[in-house]
Structure 1
Amino acid sequence: MAKEEQLFIDTPERNKEGREWQERSRFRLTKEHLDLVRHIEGFPIAKDEDIINLSDPPYYTACPNPFIGDFIKEHGKPYDPDNDAYRRQPFAADVSEGKNDPIYNAHSYHTKVPHRAIMRYILHYTEPGDIVLDGFCGTGMTGVAASLCGDRKAVESLGYIVQDDGTILDEKGRPFSKLGARKAILIDLSPAATFIAYNYNTPVDVRAFEREARRILDEVERECGWMYRTQHVVDGKVQKDAKGNPIMGKINYTVWSDVFICSSCSGELVFWEVAVDKEEGKVRNEFPCPHCGADLTKRTLERATERVYDRDIGEFITRARQVPVLINYSVGNKRYEKEPDDYDLELIRKIEESEIPYWYPTARMPEGYNTEQPKVSHGITHVHHFYTRRNLWVLAACMSKPKSLGNLRLRNRLLFLVEQLVLGMSRLARYVPRHYSQVNQYLSGTLYIASQVVEVSPWYILNSTKIKNLTRALLKEYVGACTTYCSSADSTLLRDACIDYIFTDPPFGGNLMYSELNFLWEAWLRVFTNNKPEAVENKVQGKGPREYQELMEKCFAEYYRVLKPGRWMTVVFHNSQNRIWNAIQEAILRAGFVIADVRTLDKKQGTFKQVTSTTAVKQDLVISAYKPNGGLEKRFQLEAGTEEGVWDFVRTHLKQLPVFVEKSGKAEVIAERQNFLLYDRMVAFHVQRGVTVPMGAAEFYAGLKQRFPERDGMYFLPDQVVEYDKKRFMVQEIEQLSLFVTDEKSSIQWLRSELEKKPQTYQEIHPKFLRELHKAPHEKLPELAELLEQNFLKDDNGRWYVPDPGRQSDLEKMREKALLKEFEEYKEGRSRLKVFRTEALRAGFKACWAAKDYKTIVEVARRIPDTVLQEDTTLLMYYDNALMRLDE
């Protein structure tokens, strides 16, 4: 088989398409090309030659891709508004996919979404050949998913049925998609991430890869294997062969332990010796000092340090003292353990004093949140400090070998293989005694260095089984065209309305500092993240909640620009903080998207922070948002600020919402179809476009009841309600949404849901209300009696009930008058507002918006706690838009 044919293997049609794209895409990245894109946000920090050497244009550039226009021209389908028949409801099902998949596990990363989960979304929203974009691609699972949508076995493994003509049926036998690879554009700010993504999504000669991988490891072992030899010892005696020579074992790993100083007697103690229970494999919380007998804990100890000359940076450094305490080695197929003896210590000393004949990175670690811990705890300030001299030498040797190959793609795939040693061979690898394997025992999402680290040999990590598994998992002949490049998500270089679907998993607040965590990988690749546009909260970078939201708004605005009208974007969200959730929603809405659905995505195994944090969200949320089609936007320009504009939006929005969702045999309430959320979406649509909202909530609710059929508290279009009634008849009950009572708005919603069941007296509803109430500290919540009087009516028997729409409007006007009166008090004050009525602020901001009094909105907003502003979507929406108009 020719090399060219090995790159694209599927049907003859796809073969032809792939070969033609390859034939016409023999591009060479030059410094002139780099000059064209050097000004683009996210251009990495590196020498030009290092960017060029790492790139494989047009499939991969370690910088903004100057050839992306050719990719769109080759694969894109121009948007034609006059003949656009695309229609999709949001993917309205919770997804659960595990991480135990060979492809998923082929390369570690701080966080990623399983490709099998992404496949479900791509199949739902796209057709074969459509272009999928992921601007925060990480390891490129979106690209893998897009390609595997053309793999019958992969699609069938999701529980779907693929018919002979390629039609895909869901679990209930309903057709919903077609078999066929989708195209993918993968972008990330991190060169490390894009390099991983490129290798995941670019085919290569399988046999050549496996052959060269084994050759490199064998070559390095012949050259450096002596560093990982130890004398075989049994019962304290060195074992010898028939000739009387010591039997030598092959070291798998060496355990190193911190050394501490007793706070009572100042004696040195090795943590391994005093605190570790070897039989149980546990670390004791308390232990006696071997010198003075004092009871100690790790927190009471002072770390022992040593001052050494660092020849690489030409200065003395102070580092934490660590000593080798255990060697795990193999003789033949048997494994043994021993304490280091004189031979081992002399070997380590010899290596320490030797010059390494290969290049290795000596860059200083950046200032940051994650980089502070190794600096403070162990004195690690530069990249090479993360390695023992032995592992630094051998890793440098492994990294140098692929670079001599002429085949760029094969060379990069071998670098991808060796790159997996960067963390596994570092001091980040903790010793975990109860695990059989010590491979990759580092904590993802941190640069934490434990008191017991494991120095692992490269052959222990990259054994023949690992290479075979990697070959099987990754190196399939993917049929989908994919291009990957390094850039900021707000500067894609794509033309308007050229993307068919967006799946994205962006960074969330201060969850993970990718530029810091990727620094080790990037140091070996010689290309670093430009973190100026990195969308994170990071004090060292001078980025707080406001800066984070502004960066995310720019990214979503770019998403909105390049997505075709009427198409969908799926956003995966994982953060436990309400303010981050609100910031993301606000950024999505500000860009022009309309949110249609929120579901859960269970990746089954949590990240380190999800497992250890009591407040962490265990399941990710998935936001489905759409870009309104051009028809609505054009009509809205004519109808803006009118009643007809309101109902035009509602009709269009209802078309985009799921009609019926079944879960565990129950009909699920679709939150977005409830009146208060429809009202919120309508208000947001107007405000984000700088238009006055023409009606209040009560008038909106009344109009909703007049115009749209209602079922189970949800509103539908006439043709939708027929479908809902049919499906609702097939289930016995409806699963209600949980409603948390934290402020006035949620209190009124809860009271309405209770009183709609049946009218109730104050005495009946009061104890139930108190059970559900979890008031925020800043909230000035009216008494229950006042809430009932302002929002509900009472019959002759003293029972409160929900008024009909006509009476509701009168009550709403009376309540709004009272709220605005209270807002006037806030408006006239000058001091910080610590306790206040949030509904009064919402009513006041709405009135100021209608009057174009943006200054008052901004001034009052700046007097309330920033956390409250960031956690309230309505207040944040008015404030952000008022601030933008003041700046104009």
Structure 2
Amino acid sequence: MQKKLEFSDSLLTELKGIEGFPDGNDENIIFLSDPPVFTACPNPWISEFISSGIKEFGTTHDYDQTPYTADVSEGKNDPIYNVHSYHTKVPHKAIMRYLLHYTSPGDIVLDGFCGTGMTGVASYMCGHPDNDFKKLIEKENSIVEWGVRKAILSDLSPAATFIAYGYNNPIKKSQLFTDASGIALEVEKECGWLFETYHVIEGNQQYQTDIQGEKVPIIGKINYIIWSDVFICPSCMKDIIFWDIAIKPDGTFHNDLSCPFCEAIIEKKDMERVRESVYDDSLQQTVTRAKQVPVKINYSITDSKGKITRYNKAPDGHDLDIIQRILSEHIPYWYPTRLMHEGELRKHPERTHGITHVHQYYTKRNLWIFAALFHRAKQLDHKALLFILSSIHLHINRMRIYQPVKPGGTPKLQGTFFIPTISVEVSPLDVFPRKLRDIGNMYEMMDPEHHACISTGSSGDLRLIPSESIDYIFIDPPFGGNLQYAELNYLWESWLGVTTNDEPEAIITKFRQKGLSEYQTLMESCFREFYRVLKPGRWMTVEFHNSKNSVWMAIQEGLMKAGFVVADVRVLDKKQGTFYQKNTPGAVKQDLIITSYKPEHDLETHAHLASSDESTVWEFIHQHLGRLPIVDGTGGIIRIIEERKGYLLFDRMVAFFVQRGAQIPISSGDFYAGLKQRYPERDGMYFLDEQVATYDKQRIKVDRIEQTVLFVHDERSTVQWLTHLLSDKQMTYQEIQPLFLRVLHLDKFEKLPELADILEQYFLKTDEERWYTPDPSRLSDLEKIRERALLREFDTYRTGKGRLKLFRTEAIRAGFRKAWTKQDYQTIILIGQRLPENILQEDDQLLMYYDNSMTRGGS
């Protein structure tokens, strides 16, 4: 397979100065690459790939789009999705929905954390959808531009980008089958004996007569072997095979464990593993490891008519002899023997099973066969065959855990390194044909048109991508400390000879002393590069999964500091398979879809002027309202769009100026008054004049308006909840209080005013003591009165020392805003340092002021 282009020595030397250049020698990097389509290092041909399109840099072409708000529910049973496993993966049909909404055929799409390259697959499939999906999309939206998009795929991991290359650069199915089948037959002929066993029925060995009339044993082909750890009984100190005491005859687990010798009731945590010393010919030294023994063999017999029947048996003397023979033999092929990646994940297998090196994660027979397959694929420089091998790698290492329902079935990615107590050894020669079939079928659905350009490196340094050249960005970034990608990919990358440069890896890890602040800094550097390369007025979608609010806040803060403006945040309802708008900290425990955009050039220019005046505020609000969803909801329901409410419009405006180092040219009271004067309001939401008719048209068709604030946790959410409650009717305090207590979930450190005080500050009441939402004409006056009270409260926090244990978050926000206006950064820093750390990490407004004050006034 001839390379179209080659690296020069000078070019490769230049590329090594780019952040995230992988670890590996030049020979392996060059071998793995297929320029200009894919490079196992930063791709110097990206610019040419972009310029081959018809879209100009830095222009929006009258682009006018609002966030995608339709429900997204795409399952993971698609045959393309299942061709290759990875730690995290978004179904390509889900991504297609976003591409069809935000882009046109020929647009350039960037995925800077591409993983297996599903964004590339989605870009191609936008021009080649299956009929069912095409009909579904056109039913949901009659205006759809079908056509291939061009994808730039980048990832820090060479394993990920190589898989992305395999997904997005198909070869002809017939050619793949010819090449792969030939290699498989060669290896089967050479190594088939490694997975052979005698056919046994009810303990009796079975025989047949050969063509010479001799009686010979019937040989079966092993599909998989189950291995079990051996423990020491803490009572009688005898060796116990765990399988014997843990598994019932039907293959399911016993509830209780007892020693077969002394009958003592025992627990696994109280038992020690039996250790054995064996010679490791790869390391040329004796090593100590946990003892494992084969306990069950599943094999197939093919009769004279070609019928295949599967059987189970206990290992016999012949099987044990083969295992000993394998251990004594020398594997005649190269395989990786390097020490495991230093990190958090290698500790457990080293402690439990004595595994310290890459090759020890495989049984010797699987190592032998996999090395034989790998050797032949590499000799032929056959990237598609290497892609198949990467897809079976998960299936054939020792981390495959026993599953009672389907022992030889699909393994699960554990997200860690873990040698199970009962493991399953599957023959590579059994898995290889099945993966060949699946990948061949996928390639049959795709043509080898170069719709994707794939690069290996850090998204914190995208210097090879020209500024303002990207039409849309879709990313599924690393989320805190959930997964240690560099470590998890180390096994496969060791085979490739090119490993992840983990210095710029955006994760949280104690081992590498990367905490939340380091994670945020690294993510922010990526977001700044995304902001640079994205065209003005264009969109970025971030899929985010994390159970910690602090990580979500770090992502949001990084987005804003890079310059993006968040327009919509949706949450995946895992039970219903739908998205609804994120409005409470509790919602972050699910999957989020964050939609943000890059403001137009003129707005950026005005914001950076030292003499920014109030006109810039309304210019921002006008652009922002134009990019928000107009209607959210289906089936007789309209949901309130929180981003269109006054308080969030104010927050976005403040963040826009603060993140650009500019003063806020308007008070909160004047902002709310001006908002009411300039824009029509419906159901507490503000619209542009040209948008409100669309909302009104939909509004009259629905049965109800769905409130998005499900519970209250601080002063702001209390006011939101009350505003909605009192928008339709006036209520007495006695009517309001029981409803309020039902939805109250107070934050630990929140000094929430009494309900009566909040009503007095924010709402009005009739002579009959019934509370109602104030007239908009008085909102500015009420806001000024409330702000004075909040600032008085904030002043009381200045005098104390030590941590603030109880406080009004709204008073802290008001105080920080006032101090920022006066350029009193030290007050923000001093008060910020006295707040509980998690409060700063989980409140986007406080974190924004504090971080920017540290930049300008910190020591």
The TM tier, using the shorter chain, reads over 0.9
Rounded Cα–Cα distance in structure 1 between residues aligned with 2:612 and 2:605: 14
Rounded Cα–Cα distance in structure 1 between residues aligned with 2:293 and 2:142: 64
> Which one of 24, 28, 48 corresponds to residue 70 of structure 1?
48
- Residue 389 of structure 1 corresponds to 364
Q: Name the aligned partner's letter for residue 150 of structure 1.
A: G
Counting only pairs closer than 5 Å after superposition, residues 12-91 of structure 1 correspond to structure 2 as 26-75=4-53, 77-79=55-57, 81=59, 84-91=61-68
CA displacement at 1:635 relative to structure 2: 3.5
> Which one of 715, 720, 723 corresponds to residue 752 of structure 1?
723
Counting only pairs closer than 5 Å after superposition, residues 381-460 of structure 1 correspond to structure 2 as 381-405=356-380, 408=381, 411-435=382-406, 438-460=408-430
CA displacement at 1:336 relative to structure 2: 0.7
Secondary structure of the corresponding residue to residue 245 of structure 1: strand
Q: Check the 8 A contact 2:608/2:660 in 1, yes or no.
A: no
Q: Name the aligned partner's letter for residue 130 of structure 2.
A: A
Matched length: 840
Q: Deviations over 1:800-845 (max 9, x none)?
A: 2222234333333333223223322322333122322212211111
- Residue 469 of structure 1 corresponds to 438
Rounded Cα–Cα distance in structure 1 between residues aligned with 2:514 and 2:744: 35
Matched, 1:117 2:94: yes
Secondary structure of the corresponding residue to residue 429 of structure 2: helix
CA displacement at 1:641 relative to structure 2: 4.3
Give 5+ residue unaligned stretches, structure 1.
5-24, 162-169, 607-614
> Which range is displaced more, 86-95 or 107-116?
86-95
Counting only pairs closer than 5 Å after superposition, residues 259-270 of structure 1 correspond to structure 2 as 259-270=230-241
Rounded Cα–Cα distance in structure 2 between residues aligned with 1:700 and 1:282: 66
Given the two structures, how large is their TM-score scaled by the length of structure 1? 0.91
CA displacement at 1:210 relative to structure 2: 0.8
Counting only pairs closer than 5 Å after superposition, residues 146-295 of structure 1 correspond to structure 2 as 146-151=123-128, 153-154=129-130, 157-160=133-136, 170-171=138-139, 174-175=142-143, 177-242=144-209, 243-279=214-250, 281-295=251-265
| Change beyond 3 A, Cα 1:347–1:605 | farther
> Which range is displaced more, 528-537 or 445-454?
445-454
CA displacement at 1:729 relative to structure 2: 2.3
| Change beyond 3 A, Cα 1:265–1:236 | same
Q: Check the 8 A contact 1:428/1:450 in 2, yes or no.
A: yes
CA displacement at 1:616 relative to structure 2: 10
Matched, 1:488 2:465: no
CA displacement at 1:478 relative to structure 2: 4.5
Q: Deviations over 1:19-70 (max 9, x none)?
A: xxxxxx9310233221011011110010111101100011000001122222
Rounded Cα–Cα distance in structure 2 between residues aligned with 1:262 and 1:699: 77
Q: Name the aligned partner's letter for residue 498 of structure 1.
A: S
Q: Check the 8 A contact 1:741/1:772 in 2, yes or no.
A: yes
Rounded Cα–Cα distance in structure 2 between residues aligned with 1:616 and 1:394: 48
| Change beyond 3 A, Cα 1:158–1:580 | farther
> Which one of 340, 351, 366 corresponds to residue 341 of structure 2?
366
Rounded Cα–Cα distance in structure 2 between residues aligned with 1:184 and 1:794: 58
> Which one of 378, 400, 421 corresponds to residue 353 of structure 2?
378
- Residue 290 of structure 2 corresponds to 320
Q: Deviations over 1:174-216 (max 9, x none)?
A: 32x3222111100000000000001111132322211111111
Rounded Cα–Cα distance in structure 1 between residues aligned with 2:774 and 2:588: 38
Rounded Cα–Cα distance in structure 2 between residues aligned with 1:836 and 1:618: 25
CA displacement at 1:495 relative to structure 2: 1.1
Rounded Cα–Cα distance in structure 1 between residues aligned with 2:707 and 2:298: 57
Counting only pairs closer than 5 Å after superposition, residues 644-723 of structure 1 correspond to structure 2 as 644-723=615-694
Secondary structure of the corresponding residue to residue 489 of structure 1: coil
Q: Check the 8 A contact 2:169/2:450 in 1, yes or no.
A: no
Given the two structures, how large is their TM-score scaled by the length of structure 2? 0.94
Q: Check the 8 A contact 2:400/2:423 in 1, yes or no.
A: yes
Rounded Cα–Cα distance in structure 2 between residues aligned with 1:777 and 1:768: 21
Give 5+ residue unaligned stretches, structure 2.
303-307, 578-585
Q: Check the 8 A contact 1:93/1:599 in 2, yes or no.
A: no
- Residue 9 of structure 1 corresponds to none
- Residue 323 of structure 2 corresponds to 348
Q: Check the 8 A contact 2:109/2:473 in 1, yes or no.
A: yes
- Residue 108 of structure 1 corresponds to 85
- Residue 74 of structure 2 corresponds to 97
Identity, % of aligned pairs?
A: 52
CA displacement at 1:693 relative to structure 2: 1.9
Q: Name the aligned partner's letter for residue 659 of structure 2.
A: Q
CA displacement at 1:320 relative to structure 2: 1.6
Q: Deviations over 1:412-441 (max 9, x none)?
A: 110011122322111111121211x61442
CA RMSD of aligned residues (A): 2.2
Rounded Cα–Cα distance in structure 2 between residues aligned with 1:155 and 1:885: 56
Q: Check the 8 A contact 2:113/2:156 in 1, yes or no.
A: yes
Q: Check the 8 A contact 2:4/2:34 in 1, yes or no.
A: no
Q: Name the aligned partner's letter for residue 108 of structure 2.
A: I
Matched, 1:136 2:113: yes
Q: Deviations over 1:627-663 (max 9, x none)?
A: 1111222343458642222111111111111212332
Q: Name the aligned partner's letter for residue 31 of structure 1.
A: D
Rounded Cα–Cα distance in structure 2 between residues aligned with 1:155 and 1:857: 58
- Residue 804 of structure 1 corresponds to 775
Rounded Cα–Cα distance in structure 2 between residues aligned with 1:240 and 1:358: 35
